[in-house]
Amino acid sequence: MSAQEQFVKRLETDSPHLAVQRAAPLAPYTSFGIGGPADLLVVVESVTDLAQAVQFANATRVNWMVLGSGSNVLVADEGIRGLVIINATQGFEIDQNGLLVAASGVMLCELARWAVDEGWGGLQWAVGIPGTLGGATVGNAGAYGGSMAGIVCWARVLRSDGSIAQVPVEALGYGYRTSALKREHARDGRSLVLETAMQLERGDAGALAAEAASYDARREASTPRGRCAGSVFKRTAHYPAGYLIDRAGLKGMTVGGAQVSPVHANFLMNTGGATARDMRCLIERLQRRVWLLYAHHLDPEIEFVGDWHWQTSCTEVGL
């Protein structure tokens, strides 16, 4: 019996309420709308099930990865070998002192809007940010001067050895759009965020709502509509990535079905039928042109996941 079959049997025996899909397309689970199939896929809705699915995969030696909203990844056309766990965990609670503890599958923007409506300050910058709390915790999501690093108290994580630890913010090693968790190498087994605790402060609900509305208006004016993954590149040491791409005259550039948005140059769009290869080639072309023109390296915010067994060569498609 293969390792994957052992995993399926273990899940059917110990967690029969979790349905396993085979050869499941991943495009519907990503904001790009791009991605080949996963060998196995399971959707979990509780923190307990999330931890258990990972522990079963480790016990049967099945490679696994977790996807939240799929808003910060580019999945290979060949898909992902092994198990993909869709993190749809829900639930949060806040105490009288403003300590908010939430499951990692909660959408960050929804949590932020709830906090604003309830008069809790600290998350209003996040009302328009797509993605789950778990992804935001790992990637130190931020906007308009706020970030996860400024409010996180601790994260409860599942380690690669199966142990569960509560990691204080000091040990999370936050930097610009990164953390100690993100820097862990996938080959060695990344830690998985199960829950995150954030410290909020009491504020005036009306003032918080007005602040959130101002962020909504700014985002509405500059954010393209369609299949994309938000900002693709990190800000360089001196300039926003979108400014450099725009200055290079690259807005509207296309590779296959992938396009640099005419609205915001740091957004790459799936205009219909784009492949992961199209998108990665476009990313590499932008990196090369900006480097040649301005000697600034564009570092991707998004992660390339899955079976990227070939080396992308944009010269093969005349780029």
- Catalytic positions are 177, 231, 301
Residues 6+ apart with CB under 8 A from 9: 1
Amino acid 151 reads: I
Q: Is 237 left (phi over 0), alpha (psi -120 to 50) or beta?
A: alpha
What span, in angstroms and rounded, lies between the C-alpha atoms of 217 and 246?
22
